Amino acid sequence: MQMTSKTLIEVSQFTWPKGFSADSTHAGFKPDQDDMGWLYSSTPANAAGVYTTNQFQAAPTKLTKQTINLAHQLQAVVMNSGNANSCNGAQGETDALMMQKMTADRLQIDPQLVGIASTGVIGEPLPMDKIKAGISQLKLTQNVGVTKAILTTDTHPKTMTVKCLIDGQEVTTTGFCKGSGMIHPNMATMLGFVTTDAAITGEDLQQLLSTTVDETFNQITVDGDTSTNDMVVVMANGAAGNQPLTKADPDYPTFAAAFKQVLTHLAQEIAGDGEGASKLVEVNVSGAYNHLEGQQVAKAIVGSNLVKAMIFGEDGNWGRIMQAIGQTTAHVDLNGVSVAINDLELVYNSLGTGIDDDKVAATLKQNKVVIDVDLHAGKATGTAWGCDLTYQYVQINASYRS
């Protein structure tokens, strides 16, 4: 396919942008898989981040936020799974700083160019001997193992690469993330990392990330719980050679669309890989009073345990969708709501259509369930993603530490 400035090309094979290296290793947090990794840019990259609003924000998350806020630049991010380094008090903060310094020393860069990320069990001290050993083993390669090294209860890595033309130059944007449980973000998801070789200022990148997160990661939910370690970090090193992007640039919408395509895919991957999930659920709201209310209603439906259980049980009990809508403060035409599941209309003008239960049960067997809702209160829309609630979710979380 010939690429034009108006064409986005989704790349099926994961590809690092120009100037980026990565690696992973087994440091011993987990018995039999890689559990540490890093990202590295050959030059300092402009950076942006969004972070959990949980009051018990973990030490690595706080330090990365402080580091990025200094000058919106990073050159490396080091990460581990198996231990969150959260709720460890002053020792946790000291260990986070040491993890940052050890990485900087290994790469011979300024510590203030190093972000860190941790995920795993909360409240256990970070074993610094394992951190030190892991950092000493990491190399500057094109290894994609880092996409697996951050996983906890995830069943697979979540990755995405999109290429587009900016200022006549091919720009690559790649993202990977982890997230399966404790997902109800108010900023992003568990851990997400996006790299791009586009040239764009840190301030513009931060604005783009914050705006796009609100439309993607902030519109997913698995279990209604917000983690202490949630973070999404973006690094843009400019290696593609385009003129630095600004909002006034005619190619800015193309880059923004490619960026959103990456984050949207990753958000859907997290929703579909919710702990124990058997189905990806997408809710599309139309006829909302404004976009904020459309988003609110969509997330309320996809986050309702009653709706999630209904979908797992393949039961067309549309009343559960109506109660989820009614619990919000959104404007609603109480006599005009319509609801459809996989294009089967269950509700029209707020009344059941009498559709055959067997037809609804059959469509709910699909791996993806799409719920369309029309509030008839305006012209705005909203979308959210989630999953069903299964017996396995309880099994996983009843024995998480083991």
Rounded to 5°, the CA angle 225-194-196 comes to: 165
189 is in an annotated binding site: yes
275 is in an annotated binding site: yes
Query: What tokens does 397 get?
Result: 């979380």
Residue 228 among the catalytic residues: no
Query: What tokens does 124 get?
Result: 């256990």
- Cβ proximity of 268 and 50 under 8 Å: no
Query: What tokens does 357 get?
Result: 């239960």
Query: What tokens does 57 get?
Result: 């924000």
Count how many residues are written for the chain. Answer: 402
* Closest alpha carbon to 173 in 192, 152, 149, 151: 192
Taken in order 147, 148, 151, 153, the sign of the CA dihedral is: positive
Query: Environment class of residue 220 by beta-carbon count within 10 Å: exposed (0-12), middle (13-18) or buried (19+)?
Result: buried
**E strands of 52-105, at which residues?**
73-83
62 is in an annotated binding site: no
Map residue 212 onto helix, strand or coil: helix
Choosing from 189, 221, 228, 254, the catalytic residue is 189
178 is in an annotated binding site: yes
397 is in an annotated binding site: yes
- Residues in a beta bridge with 193: 176, 233
CB within 8 Å of 384: residues ≥ 6 apart = 219, 220, 221, 282, 283, 295, 298, 299, 301, 302, 303
- Cβ proximity of 256 and 8 under 8 Å: no
Map residue 280 onto helix, strand or coil: strand
12 is in an annotated binding site: no
CB within 8 Å of 76: residues ≥ 6 apart = 38, 39, 40, 41, 103, 104, 107, 109, 113, 114, 115
Rounded to 5°, the CA angle 6-9-15 comes to: 135
Taken in order 136, 137, 143, 149, the sign of the CA dihedral is: negative
Residue 122 identity (one-letter amino acid)? I
Task: Write down the residue that tokens 């982890």 correspond to.
Answer: 178
Map residue 164 onto helix, strand or coil: strand
Show binding-site residues for substrate: 152, 178, 189, 275, 397, 402
List, by residue number, the catalytic residues: 189
Show binding-site residues: 152, 178, 189, 275, 397, 402
